Amino acid sequence: MPRYRIDIEYDGGAYAGWQRQSGHHSVQAAIEQAIHAFSGEAVTIRGAGRTDAGVHARGQVAHFDLEREWQASRVMAAVNAHLVSAGETVSVLAASKADADFDARFSATARHYLYRILNRRAPAALERGHIWHVAKKLDAAAMHEAAQVLVGQHDFTTFRSVQCQAKSPVKTLDQLDVTRDGDLVEIRASARSFLHNQVRSMVGTIKRVGEGAWTAADVRAALEATDRSSCGPVAPPQGLYLMKVDY
In this predicted structure, what is the pLDDT of residue 62?
Answer: 98
Q: Is the dihedral of CA 173, 242, 203, 197 positive or negative?
A: negative
Helix (H, G, I), strand (E, B) or coil at 209: helix
Crossing angle of helices 216-225 and 198-210, rounded to 10°: 150
Question: Using alpha carbons only, what angle is made at residue 189 by residues 184 and 190, rounded to the nearest 5 degrees?
Answer: 145
In this predicted structure, what is the pLDDT of residue 78?
Answer: 97
| Alpha helix ranges (H) inside 40-177 | 72-85, 140-147
Residues 6+ positions from 186 with CB-CB distance below 8 Å: 114, 115, 116, 117, 178, 179, 180
Q: How is residue 159 annotated by DSSP?
A: G
- What would the CATH number be for the domain defined by 110-246? 3.30.70.660
- Class of the domain covering 3-98: alpha beta
In this predicted structure, what is the pLDDT of residue 44?
Answer: 96
The answer to whether the 3-98 and 110-246 domains have the same CATH topology is yes
Question: Using alpha carbons only, what angle is made at residue 211 by residues 206 and 212, rounded to the nearest 5 degrees?
Answer: 95
In this predicted structure, what is the pLDDT of residue 165?
Answer: 82
Gyration radius of the chain's alpha carbons: 19
pLDDT single digits (tens) 172-181: 999 999 999 9
CA gap 114, 241 in Å, rounded = 5
In this predicted structure, what is the pLDDT of residue 122?
Answer: 98
Is 218 assigned a catalytic role? no
Among 7, 11, 52, 174, the one annotated catalytic: 52
In this predicted structure, what is the pLDDT of residue 19?
Answer: 95
Of 176, 112, 184, residue with least CA distance to 143:
176
CA gap 104, 130 in Å, rounded = 25
In this predicted structure, what is the pLDDT of residue 36?
Answer: 97
* Intervals of the chain under pLDDT 70: none
pLDDT single digits (tens) 33-59: 999 999 999 999 999 999 999 999 999
C-alpha 35 chain-centroid distance: 23
The ranges assigned to domains in the chain are: 3-98, 110-246
